[in-house]
Copies of this chain bind each other. A is one copy, B any other.
């Protein structure tokens, strides 16, 4: 299970109103994505509350993931934390529970400087047999991973791939070219739901769209069209998905993760997949009014009758 290619959604977490993990809702959403044909899943990403979950919650999520995935697609697990030793504790846990690959960001909070970033990825890879993805997410860790560093780590066998949530499509395009020229050591995945078509045009190996929790079938159709070279369908599906992405603009009561993942959870609630749109503390769940606004977008794109 080491072929990380295609649509690999970051799995959104379901919580009961009391904050406990809602395993039924979580597994319902996950199973629906696999049945729609996604090619892998990414648990404990940013959308998957991996940077917030306590060790026991991490364990609950990973076990619930494995139970429902049951080997049908590969499972990536986020091991996101401020510093290497902390990340290694998450790696140990992921190894014990069993996953197919791990995903780490640059260190954050007080650390920085490319030498430290490089040390970090090398130390993680040296401590595990699992394939390691670099998660490039400057909006959260406040450092952009340079293509030259990523290529060096790919060619040295440290990295198996990159999840690009950098918002820097120019840099990603250069990375795609460099990777091709170097014999394709890295699996390069875009994390930007709204411009997946452009990333595919540039030759990306796949996508990690949070929005695929809401409409996995759309992203699978788009991937299939990409594989068939049918660019008109790729762009048409993108236009529809970009319209659907407007759900994240509905919230006005909260921002950032609260608005984005809040909108995903609320859409899943409206679609009858999640029981609640409960968010982790200190984030407020979206209001009834915002829920209605999200339902309207779902109706507009045809996901809700």
Indicate whether A195 sits within 8 Å of B170 (C-beta atoms), given known contacts A51-B110, A89-B54, A142-B142.
yes
Q: Chain B contacts of A119 at CB under 8 A?
A: 281-284
Q: Which of B53, B57, B85, B168 contacts A57 (CB 8 A)?
A: B85
Closest to A19 in B: B85
* A169 lies within 8 A of chain B by Cβ: yes
Q: Which of B113, B201, B253 contacts A198 (CB 8 A)?
A: B201
* A71 lies within 8 A of chain B by Cβ: no
* A242 lies within 8 A of chain B by Cβ: yes
Q: Chain B contacts of A239 at CB under 8 A?
A: 177
* A141 lies within 8 A of chain B by Cβ: yes
How many copies of this chain does one complex carry? 4
Tell me the chain A residues, 158-187 only, with Cβ under 8 Å from chain B. Answer: 167-170, 173-174, 177
Closest to A107 in B: B282
- Establish whether residues A111 and B282, one from each chain, have CB atoms under 8 Å apart when the complex forms: yes
* A221 lies within 8 A of chain B by Cβ: no
* A255 lies within 8 A of chain B by Cβ: yes
Task: Among A110, A174, A283, find the residue whose CB has the most chain B CB atoms closer than 10 A.
Answer: A110
- Establish whether residues B84 and A282, one from each chain, have CB atoms under 8 Å apart when the complex forms: yes
Per-residue 0/1 for A187-223: is the Cβ within 8 Å of any B Cβ (1 yes, 0 no)?
0000010110111011000000000000000000000
What are 21 A-B pairs with beta-carbon distances under 8 A? A46-B109, A46-B110, A51-B110, A52-B86, A52-B110, A53-B85, A54-B89, A84-B281, A108-B108, A109-B140, A116-B283, A119-B284, A167-B168, A167-B169, A173-B194, A173-B195, A173-B238, A174-B194, A197-B201, A201-B231, A201-B235
